[in-house]
Structure 1
Amino acid sequence: MTTTLFFSENVNHVFRKPCWFDEAVFFLQDVMIELYRKNIWRDAKTVNVLATACLSPVTKIMGAALRFFLTEEEDGGEAESESSDESDTESRALRDMVLSRQTVKSGRKRERKVARARAVLKKQQKKRKGPAAGRFLALHLIHDPQDFAEKLFKRLERATEKFEIRLLMMALISRLTGIHQVFLFNLYPFLQRYLQPHQKEVTKVMTYLAQASHELVPPEVLEPVVKAVANNFITERNNRDAIAMGLNTVREVCVRCPLVMTKELLADLAGYKTYRDKGVVMAARSLVQLYRSVRPELLRRKDKGQPMEGGVQRAPEYGELVAEQHVPGMELVDIPSEPEEDVATDVSESDSEWIDVHHSSDEDSACVKLREKERERETRKREMMVEGMGTSQTSASN
């Protein structure tokens, strides 16, 4: 544990200042990434140490850290698939060894091998049956996403590296903004500068714009960017691929923030339903279908279509929280109800049959009556005894 802390603190210090030991730092960073991917140092401290490498002035170190955060999920899936393939091949070989015992002449040496193979097979089966460990993306383990995104964006604004490295920085910032709903309003005008049809890797920039949009962004911040996409891409002077790409980008932004769209812009974009290209028509129809279910008041009368069966789910205003008053879909659950005849018969039976209920006062009165009867009996016995004694004395005197 002390080695881990010492190593992490030193790496954290080295990442922040340029030094002559760039190769050594890069090697240490590579070791940490490998240990994280092998589930040895898979904790928040390791992730935050690697996050500081994204702010390094050394391009090699910064690029490796950016790729770690952006490709961590894919690499994890590939590693799992490779390990599963290897384990499958090993288990097949072990099964073949166990089954071959029935046909091949057995000896002591072979018996030992088969016993070892059986033990290994049992261990593999236990591992597969055991619960899988919870996996989280490295971006979820960052302590302060807001501060980290702001620092990384400042680094991006004054970056002089190659365009590929700047694209990686844009990708990481947009993914952080979308996952943690970070407030980074200067990011959208920055991305707007790259939203041109002739821009290199413009499809990636449009993807980053959609990723960075979320419901907590004010509509007035995203509205200029959406209009820029519409003016630069969704025009008759561009080819059909650019128009379809612009419509799809606008739709993805509106899915995350429906309040961005205006009535005039939506009417213009809905007019592409009659375009001569099928891809453009499908993109325009999907945008219209989205606003039919969210904000149909923005659509023209001819675009509203038939009323939906499930009703319209009104998009909340900015900052509005919608509290559910009931469990959605509860009306579709069949609750068995008792027949009315049985209830009526139960009521009539309960009315006809009377049940005697004893009260404590009744018990007290009964006890008093019993005591009085016992006293009367005792007095009668005494009187009879007295009378008997009197008759015996008179007979003796006579």
Structure 2
Amino acid sequence: EVSRRACAGFISLYRQNVWRDRHVVNMMSAGLVHPDVKIAAALAHLFLGNKTKGLEGILDESDDEDEDDANETIKGLVGSKKTKKREKRIERAKKSIKKASTKRKSKQDAQGHVSFVAIDLLHDPQTLAEKLLQRVSKGGEPFLFRLLILHLTARLVSRHSLLILNLYPFLLKYLTPT
């Protein structure tokens, strides 16, 4: 629990441009090999530039609570007798649903710009990529987490022109149909 909160603090301070130097990025890269999958996944999302992911899984916070509350309000009022007050409540709930959906769409549109500054600031990307590939090749972790780590490893190889001999045969295992 303490390490999750510390990781969430690192991520939020990094995203707010408070801690954005090499030392902090290398400390966060050490968290990529942490045994807790949620911590490693949150940091992998940070290094990949995914802005909405990361903190959601680590602290279990939901952004869709407003929309869910509005849907529940509408469902509770639909079968009731039509009065002015109930009609106003339904209209308010519909407006809040529309507002939440436009907010979500604007967040998705704003994600078009992805920054890989964190990957560029890494001190030893070769060793990190080898450790990540070793972790994925061991198995025992969820499939989506393995794909996320493979995505990060491939991005590290691409950005730093790394040579990792085991990467391509391992990726071939995922690409061949069975």
Q: How does 1:231-242 map to 2 (within 5 A)?
A: none
Q: Could you tell me how far apart the structure 2 residues matched to 1:74 and 1:143 are?
A: 26
Deviations 1:205-230, CA, capped at 9 Å, x for gaps: xxxxxxxxxxxxxxxxxxxxxxxxxx
Q: CA deviation at 1:60?
A: 1.6
Percent sequence identity over aligned pairs: 40
Residue 175 of structure 2 corresponds to which residue in structure 1?
195
Runs of 4+ with deviation above 4 angstroms: 72-75
- 1:182 aligns to what SS in structure 2? coil
Question: What is the aligned residue count?
Answer: 117
Q: Could you tell me how far apart the structure 1 residues matched to 2:51 and 2:21 are?
A: 15
Q: Could you tell me how far apart the structure 1 residues matched to 2:6 and 2:51 are?
A: 21
User: Larger relative CO (CA 8 A, sep 6+): 1 or 2?
Assistant: 2
Q: CA deviation at 1:139?
A: 0.2
Alignment equivalent of 1:62, drawn from 40, 43, 46: 40
Q: How does 1:37-186 map to 2 (within 5 A)?
A: 37-72=15-50, 137-186=117-166
**Compared CA separation, residues 136 and 61, structure 1 to 2 (3 A):** closer
CA RMSD after TM alignment: 1.9
**Compared CA separation, residues 59 and 136, structure 1 to 2 (3 A):** closer
Q: How does 1:289-328 map to 2 (within 5 A)?
A: none
Gaps of 5+ in 2: 54-114
What one-letter code is carried by the residue in structure 1 that aligns with 2:131? K
**Compared CA separation, residues 143 and 73, structure 1 to 2 (3 A):** farther
State the TM-score, normalized to the length of structure 1.
Answer: 0.28
Q: CA deviation at 1:73?
A: 6.8
What one-letter code is carried by the residue in structure 2 that aligns with 1:41? W
Q: Could you tell me how far apart the structure 2 residues matched to 1:145 and 1:72 are?
A: 19
Residue 16 of structure 1 corresponds to which residue in structure 2?
none
Return the index of the structure with the highest Cα Rg.
1
**Compared CA separation, residues 166 and 52, structure 1 to 2 (3 A):** same
- 1:160 aligns to what SS in structure 2? coil
Q: Could you tell me how far apart the structure 1 residues matched to 2:5 and 2:34 are?
A: 15
- 1:54 aligns to what SS in structure 2? helix
Deviations 1:13-60, CA, capped at 9 Å, x for gaps: xxxxxxxxxx11101110111001101011111111111111011112
Q: CA deviation at 1:72?
A: 4.6
What one-letter code is carried by the residue in structure 1 that aligns with 2:27? V
Q: CA deviation at 1:159?
A: 2.9
Mapped contact 2:22–2:121 kept (Cα < 8 A): yes
Alignment equivalent of 2:6, drawn from 19, 23, 28: 28
Q: CA deviation at 1:74?
A: 7.9
